[in-house]
Amino acid sequence: MTETFYEVMRRQGITRRSFLKYCSLTAASLGLGPSFAPQIAHAMETKPRIPVLWLHGLECTCCSESFIRSAHPLAKDVILSMISLDYDDTIMAAAGQQAEAIIEETIQKYDGNYILACEGNPPLNQEGMSCIIAGKPYLEQLKHAANHCKAIISWGSCASWGCVQAARPNPTQATPIHMVPGLAAKPIIKVPGCPPIAEVMTAVITYILTFEKFPELDRQGRPKMFYSQRIHDKCYRRPHFDAGQFVEAFDDEGARKGYCLYKVGCKGPTTYNACSTVRWNGGLSFPIQAGHPCIGCSEDGFWDKGGFYDRLTDIHGFGVEANADELGGKAALVVGAAAAAHAAVSAVKRARSNGGKE
Amino acid sequence: MSVIQTPNGYSLDNRGQRVVVDPVTRIEGHMRCEVNVDADNIIRNAVSTGTMWRGLEVILKGRDPRDAWAFVQRICGVCTGTHALTSVRAVEDALKISIPDNANSIRNIMQLSLQIHDHLVHFYHLHALDWVNPVNALKADPKATSALQIATGPNHPKSSPGYFRDVQNRLKKFVESGQLGPFKNGYWTNPAYLLPPEADLMAVTHYLEALDFQKEIMTTRTIFGGKDTHPNWLVGGVPCAINMDGELAAGAPINMERLNYVAGVIDRTIDFVENVYIPDIIAIGSFYKGWLYGGGLSGKSVLAYGDIPDRANDYSPKNLMMPSGAIINGNLKEVLPVDLRDPDQVQEFVPHSWYSYPDEKKGLHPWDGITEPNYKLGAKTIGTSTNIQQLDESAKYSWIKAPRWRGHAMEVGPLARYVVGYAQGHPEIKDQVDKTLAALGVPLEALFSTLGRTAARALEAQWSAHKQKYFFKKLIANIKAGDSSTANTEKFDPRTWPKEVKGVGFTEAPRGALAHWIRIKDTRIDNYQCVVPTTWNGSPRDNEGNIGAFEASLMNTKVERAEEPVEILRTIHSFDPCLACSTHVMGPDGEELAVVKVR
């Protein structure tokens, strides 16, 4: 473990030039200015690779699928040159006992010094046997690996919140990582979303490796850099919300003009994620741009917060709906009023959610 | 310890050495496999077990049917979208909703892009390491590798000796670092690997190229569905409205710029599949064509529902561009029609699954399905309830049910579709298959093998790549003719729905025939049942003792080293198992299971 990222990347045929380009892209994707690129380069040149055990519980593998879609850095470069992905049952060559031996070997060699990446969650019902690894409950493998790790990354909404298998009535008692009874007290970083955005996943890894620390987390344990604003806050359709211009039904005139999807159920106003800024698949699009309301997939318990096509206010009643309905018909005339009304509603909403949670 | 004859023609002998593979890796989800090998290392008994379940069907009860697609889409993030499409079709069938032509074209492009992406990623990133030895690639001569590339895939631009030397150097340094990452503890000295170093180097190079390229294939779904994995769908059509030259078109979901992006992706995908994926299959196949194990049920009993409706709203076999039908008892001369509404055709059995029925001798049609968990290990199990050393296959041993078609265990998937299509004389499929057999110099029988399954998947990716283009042209032509419609919202409001209805939706998922059955009562989901491809293929024994497709495919295979399960992985992987799909079911009230006793 004396090799640095830079040495490894160079040895593996990555040129100095593309290495520096990679550093500046990393700086950009982390929302840092260009002046940070040399700092990242310096870190990569002097710091060693870190082993990662990537475990899978009850899940659908959408997080792994998202991860391999990362445009910058490429998944290939993360796996070959940045981390040492020693265990990941979705892609590893070894199976059975040869696979399980790797976990023990990693614990022996890197006790307290590897990252535990969790995709999915363990079920607690049925003695844990509705998720079996090597004849035993997944819960055991998870707790064992957690005992010896440096820190835990909870990938996606399953590991972070429970997600679909934990939706009412949660038949298997699927339990998010931070709530697993008896789990060693290790730092946990949640990267929610179903799945999380690929470039957010790789940026979180890169940040940890580069700065040798977790990014700053919010009260819920999510990196502030990607989860501190609502999708609604930076949505390109936001001006239509402010102007009272709404899609009333799918494929109507408003839908074709890219009006606001709030009235057909958009959860953007209550969802904290980077979809409207980082966007998806190399910045290509995001659900709202493709005409579907946000379903709030990075929020805790989003499956049980009412229908995806029901207006938010039907559930939460924070008072936007009255404005939206009133303004829909006379949009052009009352743009200023709408914006003001919205600002006031947003302020109230902020105050309420702060008051409720702090 | 005994020898058992199964009605579907297998002689099961569990007296030899028991080999356990748990976890089976490089699959979606969690699975266990146990086999017995005889003194000559030939597999004489096979037991496949689904080792996870999540309970999505019961979670769906009482929900809004228009939301169901999002829940069931999370059955699987690998075949992402196919469950969602199946779900909106089931709801549309129940409520008699027809969708616009553009929605049909866009859905087909999305579904086809999944076939291509899934097949390609499966081959290179889940399956290739069963055939390809990356360590052996270090011995390759880059010049000879270049010559091999030019001979097999002449139209692929990345073919110079220098290119392969660079990749080899990167690989060499990676291996020398001692940190092998995903390649760690592989079976790299096993004689089951047959490729010369040059073919290994070419394949490893394409492993990396495919990892880079795959992320582009599915961007068609990012354009139409907003994100990938897990794009968005809509009952009644698609959510992406079209605005070609109207006011504010730039901010519309679909405009000229968006369509140009899709067109480019479709063309580059055809190039990659034809210049890299197909040539690799032929190249690798030519070294393994003597290894024709793993046919299992593929030459006997195969099932396909069909998919990719040419015209919107017509799901009859003649309008479906992917074949549908069933073949039983190896009679390729007769393809039988499949009716998903007929209570006597598709039925699920549970005598060897961790569920209970009032009468376990009988199967149940999905509209009347019962899913009551009953996790109980047999008397001959070795180990404890939470530390299973060896399963007892004479009792219950899997979280997967045993679906049967008219009582027959069936194989589904790309090979099943291609066998059905070939038997029907489907001209495109016949042409592809005949050319591949000729290129490899093997008879039709070679198709019924592990290699045949892997080859059929590649051919289907190629077919799908061209059909994407067909539907893109169709979409453009329809818009040009003045139709920009993408959704029918006439019945989107639940207040317009009848009090009680039922429906069925189906697709051909990448892994095989998939159907969802729904009952809607008072605008809410009353019952929802999915029978998925890996439930068919990964099925345990049924009431009559018939073994399922995974199990059948392992029978009589010779393994080089019992302690290194390369051959088992190779054949199981050829089905592209998806365990989260197969084991999503759960009891009606989510009650805890009885405490397990090993007797």
Whether A286 has a pLDDT exceeding 50, the answer reads yes
A240 and A343 together in one domain:
yes
Contact present, B72 and B238 (Cβ < 8 Å): no
Residues of A in contact with B64 (CB under 8 A): 307-309
- What digits encode the pLDDT tens for the residues B444-455? 999 999 999 999
A198 and A121 together in one domain:
yes
Residues of B in contact with A126 (CB under 8 A): 373, 375, 592-593
Residues of A in contact with B569 (CB under 8 A): 95
- What digits encode the pLDDT tens for the residues B209-221? 999 999 999 999 9
Residues written for chain A? 358
Amino acid B370: pLDDT? 80
Binary contact (A91, B125; C-beta < 8 A): yes
Q: Give yes or no for A93 touching B (CB within 8 A).
A: yes
Min Cα distance B230 → chain A (Å) is 7
Query: How large is the average pLDDT for residues A58-79?
Result: 94
Closest Cβ–Cβ partner in B218, B253, B375 for A290: B253
Amino acid A333: pLDDT? 35
Buried b (16+ CB within 10 A) or exposed e, B368-392: ebebebebbbeeebeeebbebeebb
Query: pTM of the prediction?
Result: 0.90
Concatenate the DSSP letters of all residues of B237-304 into one string. Answer: B-S--B-SSSTTGGGSSB-HHHHHHHHHHHHHHHHHIIIIIHHHHHHHHHHHTT-----GGGGT-EEE
Q: Give yes or no for A167 touching B (CB within 8 A).
A: yes
Buried b (16+ CB within 10 A) or exposed e, A217-235: beeebbbebbbeebbbeeb
Residue A27 lies in a domain: no
A164 and A195 together in one domain:
yes
Interface of B with A in 157-196 (CB under 8 A): 166-167, 169-170, 173-174, 177, 179, 181-187
A157 and A56 together in one domain:
yes
Residues of A in contact with B55 (CB under 8 A): 165, 171-172
Which range of residues forms the domain containing residue A137? Answer: 49-227
A185 and A107 together in one domain:
yes
Mutate to test the interface with B, among A76, A129, A298 (most CBs of B within 10 A): A129
Contact present, A53 and A145 (Cβ < 8 Å): yes
Chain B residue at shortest CA distance from A303 = B71
Binary contact (B53, A292; C-beta < 8 A): no
Chain B residue at shortest CA distance from A294 = B232
Q: Give yes or no for B66 touching A (CB within 8 A).
A: yes
What are the residue ranges in chain B where pLDDT is below 50?
Answer: 584-599
Chain B residue at shortest CA distance from A175 = B54
CATH value at residue A179: 3.40.50.700
A170 and A297 together in one domain:
no
Q: Give yes or no for A2 touching B (CB within 8 A).
A: no
Q: Which of A206, A227, A248 is the last residue of a domain?
A: A227
Residues of A in contact with B167 (CB under 8 A): 13
Min Cα distance B474 → chain A (Å) is 19
Concatenate the DSSP letters of all residues of B131-157 into one string. Answer: T--TTGGGG--HHHHHHHHHHH-TT-S
Min Cα distance B140 → chain A (Å) is 17
Chain B residue at shortest CA distance from A123 = B54
Binary contact (B211, A135; C-beta < 8 A): no
Position B443: which residue type?
Answer: P
A308 and A175 together in one domain:
no
**Domains of chain B by range and CATH?**
1-52+313-438+523-599 (1.10.645.10)
Residue A125 lies in a domain: yes
Question: Comparing A34-43, A248-257, B5-14, B470-479, which segment has the lowest mean pLDDT?
Answer: A34-43
Concatenate the DSSP letters of all residues of A61-79 into one string. Answer: SHHHHHHTT-TTTTHHHII
Residues of A in contact with B252 (CB under 8 A): 256-258, 291
Min Cα distance B355 → chain A (Å) is 12
Q: Which of A227, A258, A286 is the last residue of a domain?
A: A227
The C-alpha atoms of residue A172 and residue B592 are separated, in whole angstroms, by: 8
Nearest to B558 by CA among B567, B550, B569: B567
Instruction: Work out how many domains chain A is built from and give that number.
Output: 2
A317 and A247 together in one domain:
yes
A135 and A86 together in one domain:
yes
Amino acid B175: pLDDT? 82
Q: Which of A164, A199, A227 is the last residue of a domain?
A: A227
- What digits encode the pLDDT tens for the residues A290-327? 999 999 999 999 999 999 999 986 434 334 444 444 44
Helix, strand, coil in percent for chain A, rounding step 5: 45, 15, 40
Percentage of residues in chain A with pLDDT exceeding 70?
77
Q: Give yes or no for A195 touching B (CB within 8 A).
A: yes
State whether residue A16 is helix, strand or coil: helix
Residue A248 lies in a domain: yes
**Which segments within B366-511 are labelled E, that is strand?**
372-373, 382-384, 387-390, 402-405, 500-509
Mutate to test the interface with A, among B18, B21, B25, B524 (most CBs of A within 10 A): B25
Q: How confident is the model at residue A335 (pLDDT cuts 50, 70, 90)?
A: very low
Residue A250 lies in a domain: yes
Residues of B in contact with A197 (CB under 8 A): 227
User: How many other CB atoms are there within 10 angstroms of residue B477's CB atom?
Assistant: 12
Contact present, A174 and A158 (Cβ < 8 Å): yes
User: How many other CB atoms are there within 10 angstroms of residue B317's CB atom?
Assistant: 16
A137 and A62 together in one domain:
yes
Residue A7 lies in a domain: no
Binary contact (B182, A89; C-beta < 8 A): no
A207 and A315 together in one domain:
no
Q: Give yes or no for A101 touching B (CB within 8 A).
A: yes
Position A42: which residue type?
Answer: H
Binary contact (B227, A136; C-beta < 8 A): no
Interface of B with A in 105-164 (CB under 8 A): 121, 125-126, 129
Residue A238 lies in a domain: yes
Q: Give yes or no for A70 touching B (CB within 8 A).
A: yes
Closest Cβ–Cβ partner in B125, B173, B232 for A290: B232
A60 and A164 together in one domain:
yes
Q: Give yes or no for A348 touching B (CB within 8 A).
A: no
Mutate to test the interface with A, among B56, B88, B222, B254 (most CBs of A within 10 A): B222
Mutate to test the interface with B, among A60, A85, A125 (most CBs of B within 10 A): A60
Q: Give yes or no for A151 touching B (CB within 8 A).
A: no
Residue A80 lies in a domain: yes
- What digits encode the pLDDT tens for the residues B118-165? 999 999 999 999 999 999 999 999 999 999 999 999 999 999 999 999
Interface of A with B in 301-340 (CB under 8 A): 303, 307-309
CB pairs under 8 A between A and B: 338
Residues of B in contact with A61 (CB under 8 A): 28-29, 76-78, 580
Amino acid A5: pLDDT? 64
Mean pLDDT of all residues belonging to chain B: 94
Binary contact (A61, B76; C-beta < 8 A): yes
CATH value at residue A313: 4.10.480.10
Only one residue has tokens 């779900």, namely B87
Contact present, A137 and B57 (Cβ < 8 Å): no
Q: How far is CA B263 from CA B152, B228, B259, in A?
A: 27, 18, 6
Interface of B with A in 370-409 (CB under 8 A): 373, 375, 383, 385-389, 399
Q: Is the bond leading into B494 cis (omega within 30 degrees of zero)?
A: no
Residues of A in contact with B80 (CB under 8 A): 60, 62, 65
Binary contact (B21, A96; C-beta < 8 A): yes
Amino acid A32: pLDDT? 59
Amino acid B585: pLDDT? 43
H helices, E strands: number in chain B: 17, 16
Residue A89 lies in a domain: yes
Q: What is the ipTM of this complex?
A: 0.94
Q: Give yes or no for A62 touching B (CB within 8 A).
A: yes
